[in-house]
């Protein structure tokens, strides 16, 4: 049996676990589930509170899924990432654009500005365990990109389905001037925080003691 279940369909999270040498099995949502229902923000909800709440909700859904599938138990890891623009009064959450029109609006909001990316990662070591969570916070600075530059990025279709309408691991990095924080956290699975959870759950990986 595998040493870990990953409750995510994200290729980036899978790649990071593979790089760490973790022996894992996917535990993705079933067709009867609607993961987007878990990602609905509450009114005036701060971004850090939002991403932690959603991650714990995903973890609980994954435990229920594992029970219904009658799989052998192993620890479950899940994560969630949110992009937000901070104002004096609130956090403006930028979700995953469903079309290029939404993506263009988001990229124009981010252009020439700083924003925050929060990724929460959590692990449950038993069905009774409510989960242990770690939070990664990063500040990302977009350059002053021209309209043509943004249009060409939109033409790649990379922004679709990505929080904030860009992927730092892809061509979206061309829009970014600099970051303060965790590159892997912005990708969707912060390595430093993930290793802390793997150690707590005694799950072996490349650099484990």
Q: What amino acid positions are annotated as catalytic residues? A: 80
Assigned token pair, 5: 């279940």
Give the whole-angstrom CA distance, residue 19 versus residue 16: 5
Alpha carbon distances (Å) from 15 to 11, 81, 169: 6, 16, 12
Residue among 162, 115, 159 at smallest CA distance from 137: 115
Q: What are the two backbone dihedrals, phi and then psi, of residue 201, each rounded to the nearest 5 degrees?
A: -90, 0
Partners of 77 in beta bridges: 6, 123
- Give the list of residues 6+ apart from residue 178 with CB closer than 8 angstroms, or none: 141
Assigned token pair, 129: 């365990």
DSSP one-letter string for 127-191: TT---EEEEEEEEEEE----HHHHHHHHTTTTTTTSGGG--TTTGGGGGEEEEES-HHHHHT--H
């Amino acid at each position: 049996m595998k040493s870990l279940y990953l409750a995510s369909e994200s290729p980036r999270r899978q790649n990071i676990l593979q790089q760490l040498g973790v022996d894992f099995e996917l535990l993705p949502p079933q067709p009867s589930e609607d993961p987007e229902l878990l990602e609905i923000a509450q009114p005036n909800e701060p971004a850090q509170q939002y991403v932690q709440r959603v991650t714990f909700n995903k973890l609980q859904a994954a435990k229920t899924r594992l029970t219904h599938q009658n799989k052998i138990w192993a620890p479950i890891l899940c994560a969630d990432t949110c992009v937000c623009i901070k104002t004096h009064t609130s956090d403006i959450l930028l979700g995953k654009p469903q079309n290029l029109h939404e993506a263009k609006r988001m990229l124009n909001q981010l252009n020439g500005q700083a924003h925050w990316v929060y990724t929460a990662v959590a692990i449950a070591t038993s069905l009774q365990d409510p989960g242990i969570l770690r939070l990664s916070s990063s500040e990302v600075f977009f350059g002053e990109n021209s309209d043509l530059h943004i249009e060409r990025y939109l033409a790649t279709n990379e922004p679709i389905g990505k929080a904030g309408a860009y992927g730092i691991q892809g061509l979206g990095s061309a829009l970014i001037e600099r970051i303060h924080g965790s590159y892997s956290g912005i990708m969707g699975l912060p390595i430093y925080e993930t290793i802390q959870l793997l150690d707590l759950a005694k799950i072996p990986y490349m650099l484990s003691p």
